[in-house]
Homo-oligomer: A and B are copies of this chain.
Amino acid sequence: MKHTTSVMSMKKSGKNRSHMVIPATLLLLLTPALSLGAPYDSMEAFRASAEYAAFVIDNLWILLAAAMVFIMHLGFATVESGFTQGKNSINVIYKNVFILCTGILTYGIIGFQLMYPGDFNGFLGLGGLGIGFDASDPVGMLTPAYGEQMTIYSDFIFQAMFAATAATIVSGCVTGRVKLSAFMIFGALLLAFCYPVTGSWVWGGGWLDNLGFYDFAGSTLVHGVGGAAGLACVIILGPRMGKFVNGKINTIPGHSVPLATVGVFLLWFGWFGFNGGSVLSANPAEVSYVFVTTAIAAAAGALAAMLTARVVLSKLDASMALNGILAGLVGITAGADVIAPFSAGIVGAIAGVIVVGAILMFDKLKIDDPVGAISVHGVCGIWGTLAVALFSPAATIGVQLLGIAAIFGTTFLFSLGVFGAIKAVMGVRVSEEYETRGLDLSEHGVGAYPNFAMIDSSFKSAKSEAT
């Protein structure tokens, strides 16, 4: 069984397992009689081996990590909803539910194969996925679907939960004025094509991986992609009404800090699965190390953002503290497995400073990012990717810069092109009347809080604060 060699000698960098799971699986699906991704004569022999227990544990951890990444989508939904106005709450949620569900299905139909293409011989999607195309014998199809560490189903569900993340980040950037249908089309296209293609360059064993670009769990590949796409969309879309008036920058506060807090904590919780699961096994040293760097970076990010906001804005700013947590998490994501815990604290703290600066900078640049997602995911994603080279020997600055430029550039141009085309064809922005009234009533016909007396926030907020 010639693929055995590649399984054993595979290079381990980030989520790159194109030489591990997929080829074996595909082979096995085509020749179900041979079976097994390891040198065992039968499932019985594999089950009786010492390796089997390790396989079961690794697989269980990937599944649990997938469930934890899933809960990040609730985190995104609540943090984006909490940080936007109450008149747009339902709209945010509707968008995020759509993106999550579309992301899972799209990834099954096309994205999974696009991202890990190495050994698929068939056409795109239909045929080569191993997902969902042998209804006549699902169990028979499963039996041989073993890589060394997880089944193809575990692999798929973990990756699919990741995939939806990028587009969900965009959802936060465009909130409050995007036309829902335009966003839905854009998000689906981003998920189906852009994210898996740039992902394949690194995790699929592509050219950036060959050059030595290092992005453990996706500071650039996931968060950076979301930030770059969000930036392109916001530039095309323009700011919300009342955000920038006569040279003044108005703060439009989110409608529920507790709701946003729920979101940030759930994101942190899920990030233990996002980063920890990216080890792609339950290896005790590696997973526990990643948990520690992840937690330390988040904690340092929050404290640094609190301090920065105190100094720069003279405020004890809870929103900045929450964004500081996320900044630290995004910052450590690229190097969570190679940056030392103490250094992880430095990386996180710098991310916490950066995020406050970036939010202020985008305001100055009149780029309206209601929830700060471009700063958190885009700018801190860049920082985190560079930090790998600064705080570990896993990569050099040159190749990290190249990778950032390639992936941000591609995503940004793709997004400009696609969102621009959508604008030309059908428009991307709701009417002023819709925006003033709020997207919940305008697009969905109901308010999010029908039993509560609401303040007309669109009017009120526009004059609440000036810089």
Contacts and interface: CB of A to CB of B under 8 A. Distances in A.
Highest count of chain B CB atoms <10 Å: which of A94, A102, A451: A451
A55 interface: yes
A367 interface: no
A338 B140 CA distance: 11
B262 A303 contact: no
Interface string A311-349: 000011110011001000000000000111111110000
A399 interface: no
Given A300-B101, A454-B453, A455-B453, A143 B316 contact: no
Nearest to A300: B105
A150 B284 contact: yes
Nearest to A317: B444
Copies of this chain held together in the complex: 3
A443 B316 contact: yes
B258 A89 contact: yes
B256 A292 contact: no
Interface in A143-175: 143, 145-146, 150-154, 156-157, 160
Contacts of A87: 451
A258 B93 contact: yes
Interface residues of A, number: 128
Given A56-B57, A288-B59, A450-B457, A262 B265 contact: no
Nearest to A104: B299
A153 B283 CA distance: 12
A328 to B, nearest CB: 9
B50 A257 contact: no
Contacts of A54: 52-53, 56
B105 A296 contact: yes
B70 A268 contact: yes
Interface in A406-460: 443-455, 457, 460
Contacts of A338: 138-139
A272 B161 CA distance: 13
A142 interface: yes
A151 B453 contact: no
A231 B292 CA distance: 33
B153 A292 contact: yes
Given A70-B268, A340-B138, A450 B291 contact: no
A22 interface: no
Interface string A273-311: 100100000111111110110011011101100100000
Interface of A: 48, 50, 52-57, 59-61, 63-64, 66-68, 70-71, 73-74, 77-78, 81-82, 85-87, 89-90, 93-94, 97-98, 100-102, 104-105, 108, 131-136, 138-139, 142-143, 145-146, 150-154, 156-157, 160, 180, 253-259, 261-262, 265-266, 268-269, 272-273, 276, 282-289, 291-292, 295-296, 298-300, 302-303, 306, 315-318, 321-322, 325, 338-345, 391-392, 443-455, 457, 460-461, 464
Give me the 9 closest cross-chain CB pairs, A-B, nearest first.
A132-B342, A132-B341, A135-B340, A153-B288, A101-B299, A74-B265, A86-B451, A59-B284, A53-B53
